[in-house]
Amino acid sequence: MTRFTVNGRPADVDAPPDKPLLWVLREDLGLVGTKYGCGIAACGACTVLVDGQAVRSCVTPVSEVAGKRVSTIEGLAEEGPQAAVAQAVQRAWIEAQVPQCGYCQPGFITAATALLAQNRAPTEAEIEAALTNLCRCGTYPAMRVALRRAVELTQKGQG
Amino acid sequence: MARSLTRRLFLVGSALVGGALVVGGGLAWRRLDGAARHRPATGPGETALTPWFKLTPDNRLVVFVPRQDMGQGILSMLAQIVAEELDFDWARVTAEQAGIHPAYANTIVLADGSPPALRGMMENVAKLIGVQMTGGSTSVRDAWGAMRHAAAAARAVLVEAAAARWQLPASDLAIERGIVRHAASGRAAPLAEFATDAAARALPGSPTPKPPAAWRLLGTSPLRLDIPDKVRGVARFGIDVRPQDTTDTTGGLLYAAVRHIPLVRGELQDVRWPGGKPPPAVLHEVRGRDWLAVIAKSWWEAERALGQAELVAGGASATTVSSARLRAQYRAVLDGEDDPKKLPDLGRPIRRVFNAYGDPDRALAAAAEKARFSADYAVPFLAHVPMEPLNCTARIREGKVDVWVGNQAPTIVQWLAAGVCDVPAEAVTVHTPWLGGGFGRRFDLEVIRQALACAKVTDGRPVQLIWSRREDIQHDAYRPMVAARMTATFDAAGQIALWQHEMVGPSVSKSVMGRMNPMLAGDYPPDVTNAEGAMHLPYRFAHFRCRHAQVDLPVPTGYWRSVGNGYNAFFVETFIDELAQAMKRDPYLLRRELLAEAPRHRAVLEAAVSAARWNAPLPGMGWGRGLALAESFKSIVAMVVDVEVIDQKVHVRRVVSAVDCGRALDPGNVRAQIAGGAIMGLTAALKDAITLEEGRVVQSNLHDYPLMTLAECPHFETVIVNSGAALGGVGEIGVPPAAPALGNAIFAATGKRLREMPFRLT
């Protein structure tokens, strides 16, 4: 039994300790917003926050998050110290109409939220270093617009 | 069942080999005859006036979209077309996936692939078999005929109904944001109030859609209907399907993981487990021709269990094929080799001339050695790699079959499931969730076959089968390896006399159809997709010939975003750059001169060059600027790429495009598709190849089949040229010019001519 919190709620999971957090979220907890893309931490579609840090849940054994706070796309803008930043990021993402197929977007939005929650004025280089997720549709140009807007909204304290 | 399935698939296949070449345009929605009387299911108080939408009592417009959205935005786009004709307020419009019905057939994708003489016949075939299909960048062009005219017809009867009730002339009524208004009296009522009356009236056979000058929604970019859910993470993809059914007493969803034999061709002969049996997590084993699936309560556990299985391959395995060997045989075919003994992996090539004019043989014979210029090009196999790995959820219970799958042809999915499960097509429900990318990959049916095979052994429990990324990369139906030899001759004045495009590659359509049904894998009609982007060029020469040598590969191939246009644009647009260099001409001016008879292409080229400031100095040493022009799917794109090469590493800095797709119905989405397509083309040019060694694919995941990242993504500018010409496609057209424009820019920067993808500078 592994105990942790997901989006502010306690979770008790009866899964093998080496089962990746990604599959615990999707199969045991029914939280399917976090996506499987590669299974080797290369694409970032599975990005979640663990105690506020962006981690790739496909290579994170569930035992590693025992006692920790996990935030997924379902709760990112609802609960936790990053919620206001996540609201700003999501608003900017909608304004810039970023998604195409949308599959990689929860991972990007989560990674962007983690960055902006820790650094309200990231440089272009800091953004590029933090957002190493992969998108096959090629939404990067719209994402750049959204990221600039999200920084603006975060600095103004608007979600 | 099997025979009729074969016949229907053959008709589809015969049409698909043509690709989507000819614009249909102007097809009245009445062409659907009886099918147009179909009405989707409605709730209390709701009225469906056509197959494509309904009005709700609270005056909302719900559009039923019979195409699949894989990121191209088609769900929202088709809703926008309907909302425009009905003058609906965008905030009151929603869209849903339509069910399967002949009314929703994509007649453009079938009819337009056919040779001109057969078009009329294929249109009738399309009506008869009624295939819903998303591909060939045809969805908007198809809807422009049927859906738009149906909406215009509905508008007409709604206004008539209002006029009758109010006893006013219809010509005095106007619709604004979903409200019917009579300006003089100030009377106003929501459209939905007249829906029941309107349903009793006959729809006009030749309705008049709104002229572009009257558009309010089309030509703008309202918030795509799919975007908020995708941003909030609540959009459900195939992999997220969790069939909920209160009557289900079977224990709920099971998961299946699948592994293919490591060889690209062969059969599964045996499975060896350590200790002679699978791990306890495995509930069932299911074996297919070249794959093993295991079913467990968790996909992760099923996948982990598969890691212990040894798959023994047998049968007619291609254990020795390699990319290097294929390349050598391709080269021999280009040199004229026809002997199948010398082409062990390819067999005897079928040589065809796809187009010719002038007198190419005489031009070749007349040209002295120094008046000839020839260059060989090649592209490798490419994987599609949609971000959502292939998956399918299936349930077989009480004679009913449910299939949840991201697909590009639900009608064919229904036929397949009916055949596999031996039930009538009506017993099969195909659910199409959002597609996490498609790019042509989700035409393939294998994952559906596998999921159905698994669902047969679980006593009515639904099974979700997911391919790991490794399976996806190693067992794709790849964009084919293709090699080309481009030849030009010069006349006495030093101008280009002959343009000859010769290439070697497989028929992708034959491979696709052969996998759908092995009975279709025999003789196959000429595959025009091989030569699209090569056989009809906007450039004019005195002599022209496009030749293709079709070979059979031991590797499955598939449609890959932009299909033949993707590699042919690389060959054509690189070669013309080489000719410009040989002729000491500016690559832009030479192209412009050759476009004397192609004013639309010329305008697009000029728009891109002007926006990119073609002649403006580059920022510094190591920079280069390149150009390419490509028509595909009836749209034209010109692209100017700026690169900086530092220590042999290519950095793409800027991509300036101009596009003429007739009219941009959603300019924001056109820009997104151009950038997305270009990024896919640049990624292929800079990074990727699927290579074969000893019958196996070398690459296995995104670490060795990498994708472009945000940091590597150039700055994009896209100019839209609204020529008003017939509509062209948008979803694939960004791909073709990207790689050649990049290669030409690298040449400008370094003097290195790159004739093979992926580009290697060292």
Residues B281, B413: one domain?
no
Q: Which of B70, B233, B389 sits opposite A106 (nearest CB)?
A: B233
Looking at the structure, tell me whether residues B485 and B448 fall in a common domain.
no
- Give the residue among B681, B724, B666, B735 at the shortest CA–CA distance from B139: B666
Q: Are A110 and A31 in contact (CB under 8 A)?
A: no
**Residue B235 maps to a domain:** no
The Cα–Cα gap between A135 and B706 comes to 11
State mean pLDDT over A146-155.
96
The residue assigned the tokens 């993809």 is B237
Tens of pLDDT, residues B150-199: 999 999 999 999 999 999 999 999 999 999 999 999 999 999 999 999 99
Give the pLDDT mean for A12-25.
97
* Domain residue limits at B648: 349-382+478-750
What residues in B contact A38, CB-CB < 8 Å? 469, 701-702
The CATH code for residues A83-155 is 1.10.150.120
The phi, psi pair for B149, rounded to 5°, reads -65, -35
pLDDT in tens, A33-58: 999 999 999 999 999 999 999 999 99
Same fold, A2-71 and A83-155: no
What pLDDT was estimated at residue B25?
32
Q: Do A72 and B73 touch (CB under 8 A)?
A: no
From B466, B487, B502, the end of a domain falls on B466
B283 and B359 assigned to the same domain: no
| One domain, residues B445 and B528 | no
Q: Is A37 on the interface with B (CB under 8 A)?
A: yes
Q: How many domains does chain B have?
A: 4
pLDDT number for residue B22 = 28
> How far is the first Cα of chain B from the last one, in angstroms, to the nearest whole number?
56
The Cα–Cα gap between B244 and B253 comes to 9
Q: Please indicate if any CB of chain B lies within 8 Å of the CB of A135.
A: yes
Specify the pLDDT at position B475. Answer: 97
CB B255 within 8 A of CB B266: no
ipTM of the complex: 0.98
Nearest to B430 by CA among B445, B460, B410: B410
Q: Which of B233, B436, B702 sits opposite A33 (nearest CB)?
A: B233
Q: In what order do the strands lie in the sheet with B179-182?
A: B173-176, B179-182, B187-190
| Residue finishing a domain among B278, B306, B321 | B321
B286 alpha-carbon distance from chain centroid: 32
Does B160 share its domain with B273?
no
Domain ranges within chain A, ordered by starting residue: 2-71, 83-155
Q: How many residues does chain B have?
A: 762
b/e per residue, B2-11, with b = 16+ CB within 10 A?
eeebbebbbb
Amino acid identity at B697? V
CA distances from B523 to B13, B119, B298, B557 (A): 12, 21, 44, 17
Query: Chain A 84-113, CB below 8 Å of chain B: which residues?
Result: 90, 93-94, 97-106, 109
Find out whether B97 and B469 touch, Cβ atoms under 8 Å.
no
Measured CA to CA, the distance from residue B747 to residue B759 in angstroms comes to: 11
- Chain A closest CA to B195's CA: distance in Å? 33
Three-class SS string for B233-273?
CCCCEHHHCCCCCCCCCCCCCEEEEEEECCECCCEEEEEEC
Q: Using the beta-carbon criterion (under 8 Å), do A140 and B679 form an inter-chain contact?
A: yes
The three-state DSSP-derived secondary structure of B191-229 is HHHHHHHHHCCCCCCCCCCCCHHHCCCCCCCCCCCCHHH
Q: Quick check: B428 and B401 in contact, CB under 8 A?
A: yes
Residue B227 lies in a domain: no
| Any B CB within 8 A of A138 CB | yes
- Chain B residues in contact with A20 by the CB 8 A cut-off are 300
- The reply to whether B90 and B144 lie within a common domain is yes
pLDDT the model gives residue B719: 98
Contact assignment for B224 to A101 by CB distance below 8 Å: no
Last residue in a domain, options B199, B215, B231: B215
Check if the beta carbon of residue B380 is closer than 8 Å to that of residue B481.
Answer: yes
Residue B131 in domain: yes
Is B512 inside a domain boundary?
yes
CB contact under 8 A, B469 and A136: no
What is the phi/psi pair of residue B484, to 5°?
Answer: -140, 150
C-alpha R_g of chain A: 15
B574 and B659 fall within a common domain: yes
B145 and B8 share a domain? yes
Instruction: Give the distance from CA B506 to its chain's centroid.
Output: 18
Q: Which of A7, A78, A101 to mutate to test the interface with B (most CBs of B within 10 A)?
A: A101
The whole-number pLDDT of residue B120 equals 59
For residues B16 and B133, state if they share a domain. Answer: yes
Best mutation target among B223, B230, B244, B298 (most A Cβ atoms within 10 Å) is B230
What number of other Cβ atoms are within 10 A of residue B80's Cβ? 27
The residue among B199, B25, B159 whose CA lies nearest residue B663 is: B25
Pairing state between β B649-660 and B635-646:
antiparallel
The answer as to whether B622 is a domain residue is: yes
Q: Is residue B297 domain-shared with residue B193, that is, in the same domain? A: no
Cα separations in angstroms, B479 against B334, B384, B490, B512, B561: 20, 8, 34, 11, 9
With H, G, I as helix, E, B as strand and everything else as coil, classify residue A56. strand
Q: Are the beta carbons of B742 and B680 closer than 8 angstroms?
A: no
Q: Give the residue from B157, B15, B132, B112 showing the smallest Cα distance to B65.
A: B132
Query: Is the CB of A72 inside 8 Å of chain B's CB atoms?
Result: yes
CB contact under 8 A, A134 and B709: yes
pLDDT for position A35 = 98
B452 and B596 in a single domain? The answer is no
* Two structure tokens written together for B670: 């056109």
Q: Report yes or no on B163 lying in a domain.
A: yes
Burial B584-604 (b: 16+ CB within 10 A, else e): eeebbebbbebbeebebbbbb
Q: Which is the CATH superfamily of the domain at A2-71?
A: Beta-grasp domain (3.10.20.30)
Which of A29, A60, A72, A137 to mutate against chain B (most B CBs within 10 Å)?
Answer: A137
CATH of the domain at B398: 3.30.365.10
Residue B42 within a domain: yes
Residues A30/B242, Cβ–Cβ less than 8 Å: yes
B761 located within any domain: no
**Contact (CB<8Å) B227/A30:** no
CA distance B519 to B452: 21
* CA distances in angstroms from B58 to B61, B128, B195, B226, listed in the order given: 9, 37, 12, 22
* A107-137 residue pLDDT tens: 999 999 999 999 999 999 999 999 999 999 9
Q: How many CB pairs under 8 A join A and B?
A: 173
Tens-digit pLDDT profile for residues B673-725: 999 999 999 999 999 999 999 999 999 999 999 999 999 999 999 999 999 99
In angstroms, what separates the C-alpha of B717 from chain A's closest C-alpha? 10
| Of B231, B679, B707, Cβ closest to residue A94 | B231
Q: B102 CA to chain A: closest CA distance, Å?
A: 27
Which residue of B226, B237, B300 to mutate against A (max A Cβ within 10 Å)? B300
> Widest CA span of chain A, in angstroms?
44
Contacts of B655 (CB under 8 A, 6+ apart): B639, B640, B641, B642, B675, B678, B682, B714, B715, B716, B717, B738, B741
Closest-CA distance of chain B to residue A124, Å: 9
Look at B469 and A37 and tell me if their CB atoms are within 8 Å: yes
What does the alpha-carbon distance between residue A22 and residue B291 come to, in Å, rounded to a whole number? 26
pLDDT of residue B610: 98
- Cα–Cα distance for residue pair B692/B474, rounded to 1 Å: 10
Task: Identify each DSSP E strand in B382-427 by its residue range.
Answer: 391-397, 400-404
Are residues A134 and B387, on separate chains, in Cβ contact within 8 Å? Answer: yes
Q: Name residue B382's beta-bridge partners.
A: B479
* pLDDT value for B615: 97
Secondary structure of residue B562 in the 3-state scheme:
coil
Q: How far out from the chain centre does Cα B630 lie?
A: 17
Question: Which positions ≥6 away from B477 have C-beta within 8 Å?
Answer: B441, B444, B511, B512, B515, B556, B557, B558
**B210 and B259 share one domain:** no
**Residues lower than pLDDT 70 in chain B:** 1-35, 108-130, 245-250, 316-318, 519-522
B76 CA to chain A: closest CA distance, Å?
11
Measured between alpha carbons, how far is B629 from B605 in angstroms, rounded to an integer?
7
pLDDT at residue B126, rounded to an integer:
58
Query: What Cα–Cα distance (Å) separates residue B649 from each residue in A133, B134, B644, B687?
Result: 21, 38, 8, 12
Which of A103, A104, A105, A132 should one mutate to test binding to chain B, selecting the residue with the greatest count of B CBs within 10 A? A103
Angle CA B67–B68–B69, to nearest 5:
120
- Using a 10 angstrom Cβ sphere, with 0-12 exposed, 13-18 middle and 19 or more buried, the burial of residue B199 is middle
Residue located via tokens 């008049």 = B208
